[in-house]
Structure 1
Amino acid sequence: MSQQDGPGHRRVLIALVAIGMTTFVQLYYPQALIPALSRDFEVDASQAALTISGATIGLAVAALGWSWTADRIGRARAMTIAILAAAAIGLVLPFVTSFPVLVLLRVGQGIALGGTPALALAYLDEQVSRRVAMAAAATYISGTVVGGLVGRLIAAPVADVSDWRVAALVAGVVSALGAAVAVIALPRERSRPATARSRPAGVWPGMVANLTNPAQLALYAQGFLLMGAQVAVFNYLGYRLELEPFDLPPSLTAVIFLAGLSGAVSARLAATLAGRFGRRRVLLASSLTMVAGAALTIPDRLASVLIGLLLFATAYFAAHSIASGWVGPMATSGVAQATSLYTLFYYAGSSLFGWLGGLAFAAGWTGTATMVIAIVLIAFAAARTLLPGTANEISAQTPPKTYAAPR
């Protein structure tokens, strides 16, 4: 059933990199446009951020539905429908004149995009040989990181020289081209019958088992709270840098998103350190480092803000890699459901705190940073209280199952 390490394998990689980039370009490019959307629609920062929160909550609630759909029609066909639907909505967004309609369309786009992260890595796991599966998964994940950065880095400079509508159109065209590449390259997998485990009736026991496991709940809290903190910082820090005393143009504030590149290094380093010191210790240290980074962004000094942001982002990706990689080994049953629930909590946190950070921003950046510090400390407390220590960790040396997906 697997594509061998030849043309079929290369087509799978090309298609999934295109899917990953296209998904995350569309998901996060509005993050660079929040100040422009706020001005054009005369809404405050928290309302403008609904263009991000709406998409991520749509993605979160749709992930399991897409998994069940894929078991009926195949993962490749489901991903094709999802990516084309999202691209079509993306081409409509620049022409919307009503803010509520814009948010509703972003929710719809998020629902469509839910069919890609939920299915892509499971499809890859089935289609390539085990010898190259980990490298292929890393390639896909790299595509998602690059896509998120490209979307933000394209949108801000284009909006700076024109307006947000032109920026959204450029992002939409780039995404449509990526979707076309994905559809052309994506091999169709051999059909397989749905199993009892993949039907809704077979999913619930695994979900209940994970939702009643205190340690698993602590990991879900990490995804919910730490992702929420990260999105709040990146949603509103650019907004802050466009105001006094910094007065930076959007083309320069977009540079803050490059801090996300630190994740490529910190995630690998965290895995190495976890093998030596244990997952729990690395997770707790990463959370405290996030707190220190957020605190450094509070003073009105650009150097302090940038150093704090880099520290915060580096620690966030380390913490996320540990928490997400621990979910599978921690599950005593329903591993697929365990990872699905982590994805659900992860994007729910993004949606909620991405919006609440804007309400806190009414008190200035100090308000948002204080909220971020508070929720990271709650995550720290949950991890310290509920997660097992080094001696009792479950398979501490087991490589993170980064390509598990709900089935």
Structure 2
Amino acid sequence: MNYIEIGSKEYKKVSLCILIGSIVNFALMYSPQPLISLYSELYHVSPETASLSISLTTITMSICLFFVSLFISSWNRKLIMSFSLILTSLLAIFTAFLSNFYLFLVLRFFEGIVVAGFPSIAMTYLNEEFSPKDIGKILGYYVSGTAIGGFLGRILTGIFTDLFSWQVAFLIQGSIFMLASVWFTFNLPDSKNFNKTNISFCRLKSVLIFTLFNSKLVNLYLTGFLLMGAYISILNYIGYPLSRDPYDLSQTAFGFLFVVNLVGVFSSAYFGNLSDQYSRRIIMCIALSIFLSGTLLTLEPLLFFKIIGVSLVAFGFFAGHAVASSWVGFLSSRRQKCQASSYYLFFYYLGASLLGWAGGFFLKLFGWNGIVFYVSILLIIAFFSSVRPLSNILSFNPVKVFSK
């Protein structure tokens, strides 16, 4: 295989392109998140309904990712990723001309369809073009881009909403990211190790059986499902307590809270690199412990401790995601990497949609304490799913947990 060498000129070019692509993808996907409490106020909707501005996009994307996985072996990697980024930016621009919240949700539904063309194919592209011994490191950089994108989308939304309106915020972001998407299209190198494979029912069946019924991979799918659900639950609803007494944060100030996502740039790259050198079980447990510690710290009433808590949540989440996503590639053969990556992302975003949406009920019934309890339970289950196959959880033996 003609793998891209770490440190080469081509490596730097691919890394920058994938970084830019993931920034565009995740900035536009999560840009409404700081506005969820604002939508509740402006349009008189409940927290779980307002959170559909995120959940509707992610659940649509997760369903599309499942179907993408069936045909991904016959699709041009660069072409699909480029179209996905350009169409996602275009839909963000269209959002600027809407004033009805439910029409906005319809557009977010369609955005979930087009945004699905980037994540799984980007992961597949990297798994194909880079050596398995380097995949933890390079996927760590990809996850870093998702952290930067999530930060930019949220903070720009907060600033421009305060200055103008939430519609203008989408117009400005969509225009900026359209230019970035065009740059991506002209600069990403074509795949060298992609071999187009005709779709065959027998082949799909064999790959489907391996990737969906392999106990080790199912464990990672569940871990991704719980990780993302827990993370989105924190970010979706933290605005409710912080926008009210005694904090009363403005949209701009609340948007700047998401600067904590930048810790994910470090943690994803660092933990992705660690996962290539040490037991992934140990590294995952450390990431989950940091995540849980941050969640519990948000119970402290002082704003300073809440910010530190959300920072630890972001650090632990991106670390765990980098480990889990590279682990999927490590466990899959070359023929199965694209499907396995797609299924991981399918469950990952399904967690954002279903678990993130369900968190609204805990907030409504029990306040922020309910969210912390809910997220803590999700993380405890994630701990067990990441250290032992589902079929063996009942026979859990702590002595063997940290074997390679």
In 1, Cα distance between equivalents of 2:192 and 2:286: 45
For 2:128 and 2:384, the matched residues in 1 are separated by 38
Question: Residue type matched to 1:101 in 2?
Answer: L
- Report the equivalent of 1:106: 108
1:331 CA displacement: 4.5
1:62 alignment partner, one of 58, 61, 64: 64
The number of aligned residues is 394
> Which residue of structure 2 aligns with residue 405 of structure 1?
none
Deviation, 1:19, is: 2.0
Post-superposition CA distance 1:210-229 (Å, at most 9, x none): 33333332221110011100
Greater shift, 234-243 or 212-221, is seen at 212-221
Question: Hey, what does 1:404 align to over in structure 2?
Answer: none
Q: Which moved more, 1:134-143 or 1:28-37?
A: 134-143
Q: CA deviation at 1:27?
A: 0.7
Structure 1 unaligned blocks of 5 or more = 397-407
What pairs with 1:13-162 in structure 2 (closer than 5 Å)?
13=15, 15-66=17-68, 71-124=73-126, 139-162=141-164
Q: Deviations over 1:217-251 (max 9, x none)?
A: 22211100111000110111123211112111121
The correspondence for 1:352, drawn from 347, 351, 354, is 354
Provide the TM-score with structure 2 as the length reference: 0.84
- Tell whether 2:368 aligns with 1:365: yes
Cα distance in 1 for partners of 2:133, 2:213 equals 35
* Residue 52 (structure 1) shift: 0.8
Structure 1 counterpart of 2:212 = 211
Task: Tell whether the 8 Å contact from 1:14 to 1:185 is kept in structure 2 after alignment.
Answer: no
| Residue 381 of structure 2: aligned partner | 378
Provide the residue aligned with 1:308 in structure 2.
Answer: 309
Correspondence 1:257-296 to 2 at 5 A: 257-270=258-271, 278-296=279-297
- In the alignment, the residues of structure 1 paired with residue 288 and residue 315 of structure 2 have an alpha-carbon distance, to the nearest angstrom, of 11
Q: What is the percent sequence identity of the aligned residues?
A: 29
Q: Is the 8 A contact 2:144 2:269 kept in 1?
A: no
Matched-pair contact (CA < 8 Å) for 1:203–1:337: no
Aligned in 2, Cα 1:119/1:339: closer, same or farther, shift over 3 Å? closer
- The CA distance in 2 between the partners of 1:323 and 1:14, in whole Å, is 22
Q: Secondary structure at the match of 1:194?
A: coil
Distance in 1 between residues matched to 2:29 and 2:317, nearest whole Å: 19
Q: Deviation string for 1:19-65 (max 9, x for gaps)?
A: 22211111111112212222222212211111111111222222244
Distance apart, 1:348 and its partner CA: 0.5
Query: What is the aligned-residue RMSD (CA, Å)?
Result: 3.3
**What amino acid does structure 1 have at the position aligned with 2:234?**
V
Q: How do residues 222-237 of structure 1 correspond to structure 2 at under 5 angstroms?
A: 222-237=223-238
C-alpha distance in structure 2 between counterparts of 1:283 and 1:8, whole Å: 31
How far does residue 124 in structure 1 lie from its aligned partner after superposition? 4.9
2:194, 2:320 → 1: CA distance?
A: 36
CA contact (8 A) 2:92 2:174 kept: yes
